[in-house]
Amino acid sequence: MFSPSNIESCKSSCLNDCLCAAAIFAKNTCWKKKLPLSNGRAKQFSTTSLLKLRNDSSPQSPHNPPNNDKELNKLIIVMSAFLGSSVFVNFIFVVAICIGFFFYFKRNLVGTLPGDSSVQSDLRRMLKDNNNEFKTEVGVIGQTHHKNLVRLLGYCEEKQHRLLVYEYLRNGTLSSFLFGDLKPSWKQRTQIAFGIARGLVYLHEECSTQIIHCDIKPQNILLDEYNNARISDFGSKLLFMNQSHTKTNIRGTKGYVAPDWFMAAPVSVKVDVYSFGVVLTEIIRCRRNVEMEVDEEEKRILTDWVYDCNLDGKLDALVENDTEAMNEVKMVERFVMVVIWCLQEDPNIRPTMKKVMLMLEGIVQVPVPPCPFSFTSIN
């Protein structure tokens, strides 16, 4: 924040500051904001909001950098003159009105900004008792930064209403990619598996506050324009490491939920490892884990069938009619053994995501896994 200032100096200062994503100008004062945008509540007065966007709508190739660095960014000026509300709420909705494309689908709002930049927001309604929890989650998620995570751009909080604003990834979900009419190539699928694993390693071990996602599934993996995997949907089910020793309600999605949730034991990062194992089977086969309409009963639950194929030495059945995968039979075998390690009912036997990533990439050898269904402590 600096004053006295005018609109032009505020604009220039933000343009020349690589950390500045937006600026608020009011009463001869300029507030520069970096991502994630937050802390927008203010008294009742009109403001001018400055939003920095890319000047070029087409993605830049790393081999073809722009000719003029000064052309990378521009500022869009929008007026926020809604009294009695937060500046950030005004900022988001005025931008939405100005861009001319705004629709509501379930709990999500998706918009396209000038310059082809996109945002997606997650609209939530929570009880007042969850205020501190929400702020804690936003603070932690806002500090995460990894190429395999969807980035939180900002949020607002207006009484019981919460709005999370994420970057929008144009290629949609892994679910649509895997289960569509056209089967993705084996190379694309393996790169996606590596990306998900790296993102989970970051959440579990590398970010400042370690995070358990609790809902890893294809619908929560988004793909950017280069089909890089980006883990999304933070905040609705995640746990922090310091919460994992406490009792909590079951979180996750049927078919991907680890058996740990049904045991009288604390949950840990190993619930994400289990869910990743289920997703990896779907990546290998390009079908959903549960398909009850399949004629052959032994194939209806994919994770069970994968184990049977490995036990019987019939891994070719998993990738039939997939020439590229058939030519990489050693990699298929490695992936399947990693799946079986991830699906161990005993969480203590499951490897960490770091070990999973190293095994997937062939950096460390994958030992022969035990039967994943041998753990009998639950009825």
Alpha-carbon distance of 26 to 87, in angstroms, equals 11
DSSP string, 54-99: ES-SSPPPTTS--S-GGGSEEEEEEEE--TTS-HHHHHHHHHHHHH
Using the predicted structure, report yes or no on whether residue 79 has a pLDDT greater than 50: no
- CA 86 to CA 64: how far, in whole Å? 41
List all residues 6 or more positions away from 45 whose beta carbon is below 8 Å from its beta carbon: 26, 27, 83
Task: Round to whole Å and give the CA distance between 21 and 37.
Answer: 8
- d(Cα 217, Cα 78) in Å, to the nearest integer? 38
Name the pLDDT band for 23 (thresholds 50, 70, 90): confident
Q: Span 147-170, mean pLDDT? A: 81
Express each pLDDT in 134-144 by its tens digit: 777 788 888 89
Q: What is the pLDDT of residue 309?
A: 96
Cα 303 to the center of its chain, rounded Å: 24
- Out of 110-114, 149-153, 166-170, 174-178, the most confident range is 174-178
Nearest to 79 by CA among 34, 46, 51: 46
215 annotated active-site: yes
Q: How far is residue 30's CA from residue 33's CA, in Å, rounded to a whole number?
A: 10
Q: Which residues contact 338 (CB under 8 A, 6 or more apart)?
A: 277, 280, 356, 359, 360, 366
Question: Tens digit of pLDDT for each residue in 196-231?
Answer: 999 999 999 998 888 999 999 999 999 999 999 999
- Spatial distance between the Cα atoms of 333 and 367, rounded to a whole number of angstroms: 12
Report the C-alpha gap between 175 and 286 in whole angstroms.
9
Query: Which residues of the chain are in CATH 1.10.510.10 domains?
Result: 175-360
Among candidate residues 202, 191, 99, 100, the one with its CA nearest the CA of residue 144: 202
Reported as a single tens digit per residue, the pLDDT across 228-248 is: 999 998 655 556 655 554 455
The predicted model gives 62-87 an average pLDDT of: 46
Rg of the chain in Å (alpha carbons)? 23
Residue 375 has pLDDT above 80, yes or no: no
Q: Name the band, by pLDDT with cuts 50, 70 and 90, for residue 249.
A: low
Name the token pair of 187: 């190379």
Contact (CB, 8 A) for 358 and 334: no
Answer whether residue 155 shows pLDDT above 90.
Answer: no
Q: Which of 116, 122, 215, 272 is catalytic?
A: 215
pLDDT at 106: 39
Return the closest-CA partner of residue 233 out of 248, 214, 249, 247. 214
pTM above 0.75, yes or no: no
Residues 6+ apart with CB under 8 A from 103: 109, 110
Fill in the amino acid letter for 197: A
The helix (run of H) or strand (run of E) holding residue 332 is helix 329-342
Tell me what the mean pLDDT of segment 151-168 comes to.
77
Residue reference for tokens 């004629």? 295
Q: What tokens does 368 get?
A: 């022969």
Average of per-residue pLDDT across 343-353: 96
Contact at 8 Å (CB) between 258 and 275? yes
Q: Which residues contact 64 (CB under 8 A, 6 or more apart)?
A: none
Alpha-carbon 44 to chain mean position: 36
Q: Could you give the angle at the alpha carbon of 276 between the alpha carbons of 272 and 281, nearest 5°?
A: 155
* The two three-digit tokens of residue 164, written as one number: 């999370």
For the residues 103-108, what does the mean pLDDT come to? 41
Domain with CATH 3.30.200.20 in the chain: 7-56+75-167
Q: Which residues contact 233 (CB under 8 A, 6 or more apart)?
A: 122, 215, 219, 220
Supply the mean pLDDT for the chain.
Answer: 78
Element spanning 311, H or E: helix 302-312
3-state secondary structure (DSSP) of residue 373: coil
Angle at which helices 186-201 and 329-342 pack, to 10 degrees? 30
- Tell me which H or E stretch contains 340: helix 329-342
- Sheet containing 47-54: give its strands across: 29-33, 22-26, 47-54, 73-80
Paired tokens of 112: 């396209």
CATH topology of domain 175-360: Transferase(Phosphotransferase); domain 1 (1.10.510)
326: pLDDT strictly greater than 90: yes
CATH for the stretch 7-56+75-167: 3.30.200.20
